[in-house]
Amino acid sequence: MRMRKKKNGSRRIENLSALFIKKDENSAYSAPNFSDDLPLRIEIGCGKGDFVCGVSVAEPEYNYIALERVGDVIMSAAEKYAASRSLGSLAPNGGWKTPDGRIFDGEAWDIPAELRGNVRFLCGEAKEFLSSLPDSCVESIYTNFSDPWPKKGYTSRRLTHGDFLKEYARVLIPGGYLKLKTDNDGFFEYSLESVGESAFTLVSHTFDLDSDTEFSDGNIETEYERNFKSMGIKIKALKARIDK
Ligand SMILES: C[S@@+](CC[C@H](N)C(=O)[O-])C[C@H]1O[C@@H](n2cnc3c(N)ncnc32)[C@H](O)[C@@H]1O
């Protein structure tokens, strides 16, 4: 995802670090500390956060971890989420302005636990974070418009490569779901094949999300989805279940 470099990126992440899962010097991840013990969903490659902000309100009976490896991008996602939950806004001269007017600029605002809501952000690599999770602890995994990695030498980086699917199958609960959307025909064909060869059962799929009510009802558009649709590109989607 291309973005102009944001000023003071790490300072801005620090302001809202109460919403982030962190990795310590021993590569251990901090606990998400959700206030409610709800089933967990993970979005891999959340980009600027449109999807997780929408789905976490539309389906509030879940907790969500939004994973993104690019710092400036996840910073925008966390700020969008915080603003959408009435946790303040960017201050005109820098820093994060809380609803009661305090400014945090490069230091963490200890957001009261009951205000943090059901989303946490993690800046990092999907594979690394998933490998830290115990078996059978995730209800659904979402990948929206992930990089297709079209060149042959890079197939192992595709988020539907067999190695990723094995890891998803391990961390998902029995009956848990993998849900994917993409603009890319080649990547979609590859994903259908890869899922077909895996332990997942393909529940449903579409080559045109907008004309398939199973997928379009309640669909939450992502930033990339809006862009591709405005170019007339049809959105492909699949839903696969792991029975174990
Ligand atoms: C093409 S963008 C799509 C963003 C968003 N999902 C959307 O639909 O608007 C894909 C995003 O996934 C992130 N990403 C790709 N592979 C990842 C991985 N293995 N771990 C974490 N983030 C990843 C990229 O940094 C990028 O921001």
pLDDT digits 0-9 by tens, 182-198: 999 999 999 999 999 99
pLDDT digits 0-9 by tens, 72-105: 999 999 999 999 999 999 999 889 999 999 999 9
CA dist., res. 143 & res. 123, Å (int)? 16
Residue 2 has a pLDDT of: 47
DSSP per position, the chain: ---PPPTTHHHHHHHTGGGB--B-TTSPBPP---SS---EEEEES-TTSHHHHHHHHHSTTSEEEEEES-HHHHHHHHHHHHHHTTS-EE-TTSSEE-TTS-EESSS-----GGGSTTEEEEES-HHHHHHTSPSS-EEEEEEES-----SGGGGGGSTTSHHHHHHHHHHEEEEEEEEEEES-HHHHHHHHHHHHTSSEEEEEEES-GGG-HHHHTT----HHHHHHHHTTPPPEEEEEEE--
Parse the chain into domains and list their residue ranges.
125-244
| pLDDT band for position 8 (cuts 50, 70, 90) | low
| This prediction's pTM | 0.95
CA dist., res. 244 & res. 201, Å (int)? 11
pLDDT digits 0-9 by tens, 189-240: 999 999 999 999 999 999 999 999 999 999 999 999 999 999 999 999 999 9
Alpha-carbon distances of 184 from 100, 161, 210, 234, 235, rounded to whole Å:
45, 15, 15, 9, 8
- Looking from the CA of residue 181, the nearest atom of ligand 1 is 8
Residue nearest to atom 16 of ligand 1 (CA): 45
Residue 94 has a pLDDT of: 84
Range with the poorest average pLDDT among 6-15, 48-57, 179-188: 6-15
Residue 155 has a pLDDT of: 96
Q: Show the ligand 1 pocket: residues with CB < 6 angstroms.
A: 1, 44-47, 67-70, 73, 125-126, 144-147, 222-225
pLDDT digits 0-9 by tens, 144-162: 999 999 998 999 999 999 9
- Looking from the CA of residue 146, the nearest atom of ligand 1 is 10
Q: From 3.40.50.150, 1.10.3470.10, 1.10.240.10, 3.40.50.300, which CATH number describes the 125-244 domain?
A: 3.40.50.150
Which residues does the annotation mark as catalytic?
147
Q: If you average pLDDT over every residue of the chain, what do you get?
A: 95
- Looking from the CA of residue 68, the nearest atom of ligand 1 is 22
